[in-house]
Every structure is written in C-alpha cells, then in structure tokens.
Amino acid sequence: MTPEAVTALMAEAIKITLVVGAPMLLLGLVVGLAVSVFSAVTQIQEMTLTFVPKIVVVFLALLLTLPWIIEKLTTYTINLFASIPTLVR
C-alpha cells in the first residue's frame, strides 16, 4: 500500500465524515444562534432554553437524514471493501 493510497483513503474518510455530520451541525448552529438572539433580546438567561431546542432539532435532523446517512456510509464501505484487492498488492 503506497502512501498516496493511504492519503486518498484518509481524505475520503474525512470527507464522508464531514458530509454526514454537516446537517446536524449546521442545524444546531442555526438554532443555537436563533436561541442566543432570542435570549439576548428578551434578557432571559435560562440554560435549558439554550440546551433543549438544540438537542431536539439535532435529534429531528438525525431522524430525517438517517436514510441518507446510511446510504452514504454503506456506499463508502462497499467501495472500500471492493478496493481492498487493489490496495494490498
């Protein structure tokens, strides 16, 4: 296995990780920003106000994107297993 092959595998793994995690992270960021603005405008400093909406939105995003995530990960895994014979020689 050449260093270029290892680098390509690692780059693809990092890319798929970022693509799969992006929907939850972005929605958590948007909801956190909205809650922070709401908290600053109303001057309500409650910790559960910032925590609960983010958890709910991230969980819902995970439920909605789960089929897509599974498809991406299985495609990556199948391609990785299929490329093992070419990597070993």
| pTM (predicted TM-score) | 0.79
Handedness of CA 7, 13, 15, 18 (dihedral sign): negative
What does the pLDDT read at residue 86? 87
User: Which of 20, 29, 17, 18 lies closest to 57, judged by CA?
Assistant: 29
CA distance 35 to 26: 14
pLDDT, one tens digit per residue, over 32-77 is: 999 989 888 988 887 778 889 999 999 999 999 999 999 999 999 9
Q: How far is CA 11 from CA 4, 8, 86, in A?
A: 10, 5, 18
pLDDT, one tens digit per residue, over 7-38 is: 999 999 999 999 999 999 999 999 999 998 98
